[in-house]
Amino acid sequence: MPRPTAARWSSWSGAVKANPTHLVRPESVAELAALVTAVGERGGTLRPTGTGHSFTPLASSEDTMVQLDLLDHDRVDITPDGRSATVSGGTTLRVLARRLAAAGLAVPRFGDIDGQTVAGALSTGTHDTGSGLGPLHTAVEGVELVDGTGTVRWVDHADLPAARLGLGALGVIVRVRMAVTPAVVLATRTAKVRLDDVLADFPHHTADHDLAEFSWLPHTGWARLRLGDITDEPPTASMTVRRAADLLADRGSTWVAGQVARTFPERSSVLGGFLAATTGDVASRRPGHEAARALPPLRFQSTAFAVPVDALGPLVRQLEALVARDDLPLVLPVRVRTVAADRSAWLSPMWDRESLVVSVRTVRGMPYTALFGVVQQLCRGFGGRPHWGLMHTLGVEELSELYPRWEDFVEVRRRFDPRGVLESPYLRRVLGPIS
């Protein structure tokens, strides 16, 4: 095993920084198990870490952090019937998607980016958009993990609803078996539409299309509506002159607005108009796992809440009014995505209800505390549950009220990590102490 080293660690957004005394990259499950046992015996703590794309300190520790990028990180085994694939926890979604695509297969779409690890994405409830589409963890059939006692466990039955989305609180996931499906091509189109029209028609769009989402352009009455459908037609070229020009216009204007906003946050309302004026229509046909990229071309901070679908109109209207009243420094589009109801994971923000996920982002370097506080308060009023990997200030008292099966999760956590080896100050805040 490479020598454990002290390190400086930073999350993708830069909002979370850590100086772990040990940053360890085991090369085998046996080495990992020995490490967890040793950390437990010395009374220390350890956190599993993916690629640090979470905006909260879920993955960080000042003691030991473990990365699995050297542990079978590119291994994908597909069953002969083509229905399941087993992949190591530290594999990135990009590698998984490419390996599956080469066999004509896919996992459900997983959102804007594919740089996260499989285990990290599952552990926070990462999702894409489509009313028939659940979060990525809904495809999980079993996981192998090294629990807080250093024991290697295969979990595929009673404890699976805890292990599918476990915030790295039950163990270090080393292997995941997931259901896979035949790969599809998605034809998507993005158009600029009036916000009034989107709010009126969005329930029909979500019912009629495989992919549906919209982004409200703050300080304006406009939105970008994005719809997609599975098609038998072949994908268009990944980059054409037209597509490059569309992307450049879209991403270029967002980049310019973001840079200006950082220097002049008080000009946010003008920048909203600029974004609306430079938004155009875009269409493409891409393999399903590539179709949902909608990443701003700059680093940002983000919060997101899953709310019941009937909150749509009132919530967006109230947010619009608050932004206008308080001239909130909001420039990047506010996204609304739809996710299927989920009963596969006890801590799923979509537990037992079809949900809309409302995401608010600010350019890195801009103030966000007050803005995200407003969004949190608003979404809480509609029963919103925060995305586990994105910013919020809720603690165990509030969170436990939002999840009917909270105590079931707590019971599994106590069994898997009885001495709190996987604890951290942040985990204690959101899940409570082990005992």
**Residue ranges that bind ligand FAD, judged by CB under 6 A:** 12, 47-54, 58-59, 68, 89, 111-113, 116-117, 119-121, 123-124, 126-127, 167-168, 172-173, 295, 387, 389
**Closest approach of ligand FAD to the CB of residue 427, in Å:** 8
Q: What whole-number distance in Å separates Cα of residue 321 and Cα of residue 304?
A: 19
Q: What whole-number distance in Å separates Cα of residue 430 and Cα of residue 399?
A: 7
| Closer residue to ligand FAD in complex, CB, 53/219 | 53
| Closer residue to ligand FAD in complex, CB, 93/316 | 93
**Closest approach of ligand FAD to the CB of residue 66, in Å:** 8
E strand segments, 309-425: 334-339, 355-363, 385-386
| Closer residue to ligand FAD in complex, CB, 1/103 | 1
Instruction: Count Cβ atoms within 10 A of the Cβ of residue 364 and give its class: 0-12 exposed, 13-18 middle, 19 or more buried.
Output: middle
Kindly list the distances between the CA atom of residue 158 and the CA atoms of 233, 245, 344, 345, in Å, as whole numbers in the listed order.
42, 51, 11, 11
Please name the residues in contact with 356: beta carbons below 8 A apart, sequence gap of 6 or more.
306, 307, 308, 309, 311, 312, 315, 336, 337, 338, 339
| Closer residue to ligand FAD in complex, CB, 165/227 | 165
Of 141, 172, 167, nearest in space to 66 by CA: 172
**Closest approach of ligand FAD to the CB of residue 6, in Å:** 19
Structure-token pair, residue 346: 């006890």
Q: What whole-number distance in Å separates Cα of residue 74 and Cα of residue 96?
A: 8
Q: What whole-number distance in Å separates Cα of residue 394 and Cα of residue 409?
A: 18
| Closer residue to ligand FAD in complex, CB, 276/332 | 332
**Closest approach of ligand FAD to the CB of residue 110, in Å:** 7
**Closest approach of ligand FAD to the CB of residue 189, in Å:** 19
| Closer residue to ligand FAD in complex, CB, 279/303 | 303
**Closest approach of ligand FAD to the CB of residue 382, in Å:** 19
| Closer residue to ligand FAD in complex, CB, 143/257 | 143
The string of DSSP codes covering 76-105 is EEE-TTSSEEEEETT-BHHHHHHHHHHTTE
| Closer residue to ligand FAD in complex, CB, 219/300 | 300
**Closest approach of ligand FAD to the CB of residue 173, in Å:** 3
Contact in structure between 430 and 399 (CB atoms under 8 Å): yes
Phi-psi region of 225 (alpha: psi -120 to 50; beta: other; left: phi over 0): beta
DSSP secondary structure letter of residue 246: H
**Closest approach of ligand FAD to the CB of residue 264, in Å:** 24
Identify the three-state secondary structure at position 181: strand
